[in-house]
């Protein structure tokens, strides 16, 4: 079974943040993208299971 991936827009909608937040802050906040391709045409994707796990970890008590 192949891993399901979301693009930047889908990830931003899923998390309730802007796409610019994803580009600026995702990697530094622990949400690591997968890069498909090279150079300026590379596509960033996020694994659905990792995004959901990251979101659960951000939950404040």
Taking only the tens place, the pLDDT of each residue in 12-22 is 999 999 999 99
- Whole domain around residue 14: which residue ranges? 5-57
pLDDT tens-digit profile of 24-37?
A: 999 899 999 999 99
pLDDT at 61 (0 to 100): 55
**pLDDT score of 5 more than 90:** yes
36-60 burial string, b = 16+ CB within 10 Å, else e? eeeeeeeebbbbeebbeebeeeeee
The CATH number linked to 9 is: 1.10.1660
Give the predicted TM-score (pTM) of the model: 0.84
pLDDT tens-digit profile of 35-59?
A: 999 998 999 999 999 999 999 998 7
Number of domains, the chain: 1
């Amino acid at each position: 079974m192949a891993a399901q991936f979301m693009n930047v827009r889908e990830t931003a909608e899923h998390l309730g943040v802007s796409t610019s937040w994803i580009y600026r802050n995702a990697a530094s906040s622990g949400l690591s993208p997968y890069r498909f391709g090279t150079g300026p045409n590379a596509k960033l994707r996020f694994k659905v299971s990792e995004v959901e796990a990251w979101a659960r970890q951000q939950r404040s008590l």
